[in-house]
Amino acid sequence: MINIIVLMLMKMLAKNGDIQYLHSLKQRLEENGIPANIQGENTARMLVPNVAFEPTLWIYLDDQFEEAKELLEDPTHVVKNQINVVSFYENLPSEEEQRSAVTDAFLHLGWVVGLIVLGMLLLIKILYSL
């Protein structure tokens, strides 16, 4: 569950229509111990114009965001907060686990909203009977 929370707290580092450029940035980051993710590769290709839906580069760990920015500005920057990227990716939940967690979250949200609506209806009913 903690890994899924990490996935939801990612920060966007770059937005660019050139997917090869984003892949080169991602490679630079990962070579320096900063795991990254590119989102919107397929969406950007389907939509025209794709300016609003350009692919984006995201950093998984908030603690590494500032160093990631520095590394993109200066390729010689030495990252102090490096992690083992291979181990990080091995410990990420599978797509099935992620889907299951999202489904569970929506079910819980549905129950909470349903109970709130039911409570409001009961309150209205009580207020009308006074």
Q: Which domain holds residue 27?
A: 2-93
40 and 89 belong to one structural domain: yes
122 and 67 belong to one structural domain: no
- pLDDT single digits (tens) 34-73: 999 998 877 645 545 555 678 999 999 989 999 999 999 9
Q: How far is CA 117 from CA 106, 109, 125, in A?
A: 16, 12, 12
47 and 16 belong to one structural domain: yes
- The structural domain count of the chain equals 2
Do 34 and 82 form a contact (C-beta atoms < 8 A)? yes
6 and 53 belong to one structural domain: yes
66 and 99 belong to one structural domain: no
15 and 75 belong to one structural domain: yes
28 and 57 belong to one structural domain: yes
Q: How far is CA 92 from CA 22, 60, 110, in A?
A: 21, 11, 27
Check which CATH number belongs to the domain holding 74 and give it: 3.30.70
Do 13 and 60 form a contact (C-beta atoms < 8 A)? no
Residues 123 and 100: their CA atoms lie apart, in Å, by 35
Residue 92 confidence (pLDDT)? 83
Alpha helices for the chain (secondary structure H): 2-8, 19-31, 41-46, 65-73, 85-90, 95-129
44 and 106 belong to one structural domain: no
- pLDDT single digits (tens) 83-100: 999 999 888 888 888 789
Instruction: Classify 91 as helix, strand or coil.
Output: coil
Q: Please tell me the pTM assigned to this model.
A: 0.66
